[in-house]
Chain A
Amino acid sequence: MKTKYLHVHRLRRVYVWELPVRYYHWLNALAIIALIITGFFIADPLALQSKDEAAMRFTMGWVRVIHFIASYIFFFNFLFRLYWGFVGNKYANWRQFIPTSRKFIKEMWAVFKIDILMLRGKEHISIGHNAMAGFIYFLTFWAFLIQCLTGFGLYASMGTWWLPKLFSWVPALFGGDIMTRQIHHWAMWFFILFAVIHVYLVFYHDYVEGRGEMSSMGGGWKFIEEDVFQNEEHHTPNKVKQ
């Protein structure tokens, strides 16, 4: 059979997301899902009916237990990811999240034009986070921080361990639990909106680029065209010396 196309791409496999990054990602996703569901329940519990005596039931108790366990997982997982930003590979490096160079900002603008406004232009080639994604993750880390501070701040007066007690200054900063709780609740919506856009964009990149975006968080692999590799056309937002 005659080859219709002169050139069919040969793809190189690149190990982008290391195992700890993948663990972090999925643990984080599970924790956030658990936290959102239990958080909604805590904010506005369902009117569940049961024939059991009140003493036999612990519905809200269990929901809160799950929320608190998930919050600890979320918190330590978050700390671990910060650590991995210093020891992981170039795609996991902390520099890929913070717009510190002109290159980074230029690249953000390029991604904005190509992927969001969908203007015509040279396709941007990155196999780690692109600059825009990196910056958005940087914002999510701030959201993580806000949730950890307000969440453990609210928990501080209930907890017996010293760790949550370290956060007791947070409600004092906001003038009490009422405002702290509201901030905690509002900030949750950022996670929901982020998750929706995040999942959509994974589909989008996989669909448009065909480089294995979706499966990369499973095996860690992404694929890059041989000529892109040879011509060194791919980017990371910031340079990392290793």
Chain B
Amino acid sequence: MSNEIIPTQQPTYYEEVQRKGYSRRDFLQFVSMMTAFIGLENTAIGQVAKALETKPRVPVIWLHFQECTCCSESFIRSSHPIVADILLDKISLDYTETLMAASGFQAEEAMQNTMKKYKGEYILCVEGSVPTGADGVYCMIGGKTSLQILEEAAENAKAIIAWGSCASNGCVQSAKPNPTSATPIHKLVKGKPVIKVPGCPPIGEVMAGVIVHLVTFDRIPELDRLGRPKAFYSKRVHDTCYRRPFYDAGLYVESFDDENAKKGYCLYKVGCKGPSTYNACGVMKWNNGTSFPIQSGHGCIGCSEENYWDNGRLYERGSSFAGFGIEANADTFGKVALGVTAAALAGHAVMTNVRKKKLIRQVEEEGKQNEQELKS
């Protein structure tokens, strides 16, 4: 039974492509696109093509915990159909709650089989955060807590990918007060590299690019200090934004639907988090390169940044001051402190003239004395 679900020899990606009815031309288009996306030179196209032609497809276990499946949704909408057909249909066949055909006992068994059979070879993709509160009862699948499932699957995984902000940073369910103690997976998995692909959701092409990189080079892509692939997360949305010239010119939308908004000015003052957000939205865009939030007239909310729900409001640049109420931002606090300081100094000045009267008079009299003794 289990051998039918998982063939002994995995077909290569190219074989899968052919089986799906794509032409060689389609395949090479896909390869060129992916090579460009993952930031390689065009001379690497051959390398990527060769890897996909010769390497058997990598078995993948794709787990879903506390999430909304927007990552999967984004993935199947990435611009080239091969992405969804091959990378998703085929890679995730082994186990993914949302798209697998099997269910119940059979599904659980398929996962167990993959873990046994491809020990140390499979890629573990995690979508969603893991609730650790109340012994993990907030998210249980097949009688196990998310943490148990994660630890079991992570133990023999070759690489672990944290899809989206939930798995990378905890996203909305870990926002204060975080009732379920939702935890990003890099805090739970020890001794394994975790590739963070944050975003709510991440861009489909970025997700595909990470997998293609893993398949082609047999190692994880170069990561930045926060564990994100450098190819996609080294530039701020601001740096690649087509409205950037308006930012530099000092022309801003003052409120939504004003004249400046119609002219397409920069959304900085209505809270765009593009200047603080590292992602590839400005370049790759969404839905087959159609648009991205800023192009649609809405500021970036910084969805791929850690803790973006608690780091201030979505429509304001200045953000709330932790512990001082939601209305008090740093500047209000600063102005109050400045007022208090000014009042204290005024009080001090008055008291100086009272308490130090003798001293001041002495200095003054001494000066006057000398002035009078000097001849004009």
Contact A3 B352 (CB under 8 A): no
Cβ–Cβ contact A43 & B276, under 8 A: no
Question: Cβ of A192 and Cβ of B360 under 8 Å apart?
Answer: no
Partner of B367, one of A45, A188, A210: A210
CA distance A112 to B360 in the complex (A): 19
Is there contact, CB below 8 Å, between A55 and B245?
A: yes
How distant is the Cα of A116 from the Cα of B296 in the complex, in angstroms?
A: 57
Given A54-B245, A60-B249, verify A182-B312 contact (CB < 8 Å). Answer: yes
Q: Which of A1-48 contact B (CB under 8 A)?
A: 1, 3-5, 8-9, 43-45, 47-48
- What A residues does B248 contact at CB under 8 A? 58-61
Number of A interface residues, CB 8 Å? 49
Considering only residues 219-276 of chain B, those with a C-beta below 8 Å from chain A are 224-226, 234-236, 239, 245-252, 254, 268-269, 273, 275-276
Query: A172 on the interface (CB 8 Å rule)?
Result: yes
Q: Please tell me if A123 contacts chain B, counting CB pairs below 8 Å.
A: yes
Knowing A57-B250, A193-B337, say if A179 contacts B369 (CB, 8 Å).
no
| A115 to B211 CA separation, bound complex (whole angstroms) | 67
Residues in B106-124 with C-beta less than 8 Å from chain A: none
User: In the complex, what residue of chain A is closest to B366 when comparing beta carbons?
Assistant: A8
> Which of chain B's residues have a CB closer than 8 A to the CB of A208?
352, 356, 359-360, 363
A177–B369 CB distance below 8 A: no
| B180 adjacent to chain A (CB < 8 Å) | no
* Cross-interface CB contact of A5 among B226, B342, B365, cutoff 8 Å: B365
Determine if A47 and B311 form an interchain contact, defined as CB atoms under 8 angstroms apart: no
0/1 string, A203-216, CB within 8 A of B gives 1: 01001111000000
Contacts of A189 on B, CB cut-off 8 Å? 330, 333-334, 337-338
B54 at the interface (CB under 8 A from A): no
How many whole Å from B232's CB to the nearest CB in chain A? 14
Q: Are A178 and B308 in contact (CB under 8 A)?
A: yes
In the complex, which residues of chain A have a beta carbon less than 8 angstroms from the beta carbon of B330? 182, 185-186, 189
Taking CB atoms and an 8 Å cut-off, the chain A residues in 194-242 that contact chain B are 196-197, 200, 204, 207-210
A168 interface residue, CB < 8 Å from B? yes
**Residues A139-192 near B (CB distance < 8 A):** 157-158, 168-169, 172, 175-179, 181-182, 185-186, 188-189, 192
Binds A, one of B85-93, B138-146, B299-307: B299-307
Q: Known contacts being A192-B334, A196-B338, is A182 close to B311, with CB within 8 Å? A: yes
Q: Which residues of B contact A45 (CB under 8 A)?
A: 250, 252, 268-269
**B96 CB-CB contact with A under 8 Å:** no
Main SS of the interface on chain A? helix
Complex partner residue of B372 from A1, A58, A181, CB under 8 angstroms:
A1
> Across the interface, do B363 and A177 meet the contact criterion of CB distance under 8 Å?
no
Chain A's nearest CB lies how many Å from the CB of B335?
9
Q: How far is it, in angstroms, between the C-alpha of A140 and the C-alpha of B204 when the chains are bound? A: 47
Q: Which listed residue, B278, B348, B373, touches A1 by the CB 8 Å rule?
A: B373
Say whether B311 contacts A179, CB under 8 Å: yes
Residues of chain A with a CB closer than 8 A to B356's CB: 118, 208
Asked if A120 lies at the interface with its beta carbon under 8 angstroms from chain B, I say yes
B133: min CB distance to chain A, Å: 21
In the complex, whether B349 has a CB less than 8 A from a CB of chain A is yes
On chain B, the residues within 8 Å of A9 by CB distance are: 366
Residue B50 is within 8 A (CB to CB) of chain A in the complex: no
- The minimal Cβ–Cβ distance linking A40 to chain B, given in whole angstroms, is 9
Min CB distance B333 to A, Å, is: 7
Q: Chain A: which residue is nearest B342 at the CB level?
A: A196
Interface presence of B68 (CB below 8 A): no
Smallest CB separation, B362 vs chain A (Å):
9
On whether the beta carbons of B355 and A118 are closer than 8 Å, the reply is yes
Q: List 9 A-B contacts (CB under 8 A).
A: A1-B373, A55-B245, A59-B250, A175-B306, A176-B306, A176-B307, A177-B275, A178-B277, A188-B334
Sorted from nearest, which 4 A-B pairs have the closest CB atoms?
Answer: A59-B250, A172-B225, A189-B334, A177-B276
Residues of B in contact with A (beta carbons under 8 Å apart): 169, 224-226, 234-236, 239, 245-252, 254, 268-269, 273, 275-278, 302, 305-308, 311-312, 317-319, 321, 330, 333-334, 337-338, 341-342, 345, 348-349, 351-352, 355-356, 359-360, 363, 365-367, 369-370, 372-373
